Every structure is written in C-alpha cells, then in structure tokens.
Amino acid sequence: MTKLSVNINKIATLRNARGGDIPSVTQTAVDIQNFGANGITVHPRPDERHITKKDVYDLKPLIFTEFNIEGNPHRPFMDMVLEVKPQQVTLVPDADDALTSNAGWDCKTHLYFLKNIISEFKNTGIRTSIFLEPNPEMLKYAAETGTDRIELYTESYAKNYKKNKEQALKPYYETAFEAEKFGLGINAGHDLNLENLKYFAGNIPNLLEVSIGHALISEALYLGLENTIQAYLKRLAI
C-alpha cells in the first residue's frame, strides 16, 4: 500500500496568522499519526512564513512514523537536516520567494550540484528524494545523482484530471515506468486530493508514498481531520 505522509505547513500558516501556539503544530502531528497517517512532511522556507526552524526541532522527537523534510538545499537547510536526521529529505528547487513548489529539478544541468548534496545526506543515512516533473528523459540523470527516490510533481495531473484523466496520467506513468528501470523509488505530491488520488495511485507502478497537505487540511475543515485521513488511506488501499 502506498504510504500517506501529511504535510502540516498549513497548520503552521494558521498558527502564525495570530501568533501563539493555536493550532499546535506538534500536537497536530501527533494526532495525524495516531489517526493512521504513515508520516509527517514539513517544508520550511527561509522566511519561516509557516513551518519554522524551531518547529522542525520540536517535531523530531514526536515523529514515530516517518519524518520527511522538504526544501531547497541551501547550506542552512542542509545543516538543519543533517542535525535533525529525518528518515527522508526531499530536495525541491524553490526560489526563496516562491508561494509554493512550482517546478522540478533539471537533473542534467544540476547533476554535479545534486550529486554532492545527496552524498552528504546519504553518508549520514538519510534517504533522499528529488522533486521531478514527469519527463522520462530526466531519469537517467536523476539516477546519476545517487538519489534513492524521485517525487513526481503532480500539479499538471491534478489540473487536467477532470478534462481527460487518462491523458493527464500518461506522462506520469511513463516516467514511473522509466524510474523502475533505474531502481528509483517513486513518491508523488502537489494538488493531489480526495477526488483525483485513487486513479493516480491505482495506475502508477511502484508508488511508495504521497505527500499531501493543502487539500487534506482544507478538506478536514468539513470532514474533520481523522475522517479525512481515513478517507485518504481508503483511496490508497488499492
């Protein structure tokens, strides 16, 4: 079964809107795990507009499933990850002022940059994943970086799902199929939700993990957090 990692950035966004500690990022992470999710994802950014560096350190001893830290591998981010030692780090080529993740890596252009960074993480036993757009031709270079996994950037799938879900899925299937040839594990995330997840998860080979935040937290406003997590897990139980 594909694992569900819940991105809790939006919990931190809501907390930061008023200051203080309501809602609690740490308690929410504990609850999410108790409700059945398989992991917690955070994506701290330099301006700390949602998840802060302190949050990352506070969360570490509370994660009893899997801790996944996403971010652009600037030196301060790398040093934090190397100290916290999560189970997984996901490298995303975000601009510092990006509203949200909006592109995958060009592994051919950034091959040696990624290679050096990934070797640092792997030397300390941290599994690495790199954020990629669906492009089978990029897999050769992704494999050369030494990464363990790729995370498929699923915005275009989600955007085109209602128009033609078969066509929307096609480049992701082709990329996942190629990734298997190179021995790369497959994660996915961005704009996956209760409506489009089941079709994606049921048709992507070797899909190990999905990371979902904005949609899941938004849906939880109506359904409740526990019910929403259970609904996602049912869609992943292919």
Question: Which residue type sits at 221?
Answer: L
Strands 207-212, 185-189: parallel, antiparallel or unpaired by DSSP? Answer: parallel
Active site residues per annotation: 43, 70, 190
Angle between helices 9-18 and 214-223 (to 10 degrees): 70
**CA–CA distance, 140 with 135 (Å, rounded to integer):** 10
User: Where would I find the beta strands (DSSP E) of 154-238?
Assistant: 185-189, 207-212
For the chain, the C-alpha Rg in angstroms (whole number) is: 17
**CA–CA distance, 75 with 12 (Å, rounded to integer):** 23
SS3 label, residue 206:
coil
CB 42 within 8 A of CB 8: yes
- Looking up tokens 């109506």, which residue turns up? 222
